Amino acid sequence: MGLVTDHLPGALLPLPGGGALLTAIDQVVNWSRANSLWPLTFGTSCCAIEVMMATGAARHDLARFGAEVARPSPRQADLLIIAGTIVKKMAPRLRTLWEQMAEPRYVIATGSCAISGGPFLYHSYTTIRGADEVIPVDVYVPGCPPRPEALLYGLLTLQKMIREGSTLARPGQVRRPVLAALPDGMTLDDVRAEIAALVQETATVDRKAAAAVGAAFAAQDRV
């Protein structure tokens, strides 16, 4: 059937004479969408240089994943990689760009600022507490800044979400691969047990220690 069709098991049924019959059109569509992502050339702060430009350089070669066709126009892009701080003046512009992108569209939040506001959230009234307060985010890549390998892993996670999540019958609904980042052998029961142990560990509050920390912080802020 050829090099391309060999990577689509269960989606193509070979017929006599070299023809093929589509048995699962969702798999074919999602496979093509996952391997032809077109990012938007968009960056608001330092992560745009430290992460996005480094990831697209020859050393890491973003073209291996079919996502090197960065477009300057949102109408020709379907992937928005948020790299940098989002302030209140930028929020409506970010929303406008996202609404102008082609469907189906996807969003990756890169770095602490894009995820939670980063260090600029404190003592500032202009910073948005995460891009997901403005637009829906599909994949989060933590770090300050993240390494290019982290962004590549986030892209692979997004591709897995696209291949496994969306269907033509339910457009706009996707399934996140939430278990993809768990180490081998770890189950949801292990995660629940770890969370329960953490809650029990932090259930007791030392008021004297907390008051001392608060006093030290207040003294530093006055200086």
> Mind listing the pLDDT tens digit for each residue in 34-87?
888 888 888 888 888 877 777 777 777 777 777 777 888 888 888 888 888 888
73 with 148, same domain: the answer is yes
Quick one: pLDDT at residue 148?
83
Q: How many domains does the chain have?
A: 3
Alpha-carbon span 93 to 105, nearest angstrom: 17
Q: What is the pLDDT of residues 132-163, one digit of tens each?
A: 888 888 888 888 888 888 888 888 888 888 87
3-state secondary structure 169-196: CCCCCCCCCCCCCCCCCCCHHHHHHHHH
Residue at 57 is within a domain: yes
Element (H, E) at 91: helix 90-100
> How far, in Å, are 22, 93, 102, 159, 188 from residue 183 at the CA level?
35, 38, 35, 19, 11
Per-residue confidence (pLDDT) for residue 208, from 0 to 100: 82
pLDDT digits (tens, 9 = 90+) for 203-218: 777 788 778 877 777 7
Q: Can you give the pTM of this predicted structure?
A: 0.68
Mean pLDDT of 12-29: 62
In a domain, 171, yes or no: no
Strand partners, 139: 108
159-200 pLDDT, tens digit per residue, is: 888 877 666 556 666 666 556 556 777 777 888 888 888 888
Give the containing element (helix H, strand E) for 92.
helix 90-100
Predicted confidence band of residue 1 (pLDDT cuts 50, 70, 90): very low
* Nearest Cα residue to 46 out of 88, 84, 94: 84
When computed from its CA atoms, the radius of gyration of the chain, rounded to whole angstroms, is: 22
Which structural domain, as residue segments, surrounds residue 198?
A: 188-222
Considering the domain architecture, whether residues 20 and 106 belong to the same structural domain is answered as no
